[in-house]
Amino acid sequence: MFWKRKTVIAKFSDLKTAELENKLLCLDNKSFGKFITSSIDYDKGFISEKVLEKEKNALMQVGKETLKNTINRINSIEEQYDGYKLPVLIAPFMTTLLIVLGNQFFFRKEIIETQGLTSAAVTFLLLLLTYSFAFVKIISIGKRGHSKLIFFKYVLEECLDNKKEKEEERKKNISHIESA
């Protein structure tokens, strides 16, 4: 697809805590991935510190177990969004396709005699460039989704660490009050 459909998906901070927990835990993997990658919008530049803090605060309202389960969920579906594995899947297909097209169509004796070697080579080169462009575009889309999932995972881990620190501080304060 050469155009991008604009879908409006709520940011984490736009949702109530119960709704956010429900989306993080109950969506199927495809919807979950789309929710995360659509909610994080840093394609046009770095996400602002103010927006990031607002989103982190919304995630801090979510329970500790929900954060742990969401991190585990991201770890399990991260492979589906790994754009670095796409070349391994697409390159053999592209190579086979170009070899078959080259041998069976572009460089056949009849084609070379009627259109000339230069015309066949230029047409084959244009097809190769078109496929290469599509190949690079597919890989970049895959990498973008993967990087957003990893970014979200680190934000969740940071929120989980902050929750643990606050819990430890609370325990220390309670023990100081009891000992006094």
> What is the per-residue pLDDT for 7?
46
> What is the per-residue pLDDT for 83?
63
Domain count along the chain: 1
State the Cα angle at 170 between 70 and 25, rounded to 5°.
15
User: What is the average pLDDT score of the chain?
Assistant: 79
Closest C-alpha among 153, 162, 164 to residue 69:
153
What's the gap between Cα 126 and its chain centre?
30
Token pair 């991260």 in the structure block, residue = 78
For residue 16, being part of any structural domain is answered with: yes
Closest C-alpha among 9, 8, 10, 25 to residue 62:
25
For residue 53, being part of any structural domain is answered with: yes
More confident residue, 11 or 167: 167
* Residue-range definition of the domain harbouring residue 27: 12-88+121-179
pLDDT band at 47 (very low <50, low <70, confident <90, very high): low
Q: pTM for the full model?
A: 0.67
Q: Which amino acid is at 22?
A: N
For residue 129, being part of any structural domain is answered with: yes
> What is the per-residue pLDDT for 50?
79
Percent of the chain at pLDDT > 70 equals: 86
For residue 43, being part of any structural domain is answered with: yes
For residue 1, being part of any structural domain is answered with: no
pLDDT band at 86 (very low <50, low <70, confident <90, very high): low
pLDDT in tens, 6-19: 444 457 778 888 88
> Mean pLDDT throughout 111-131?
83
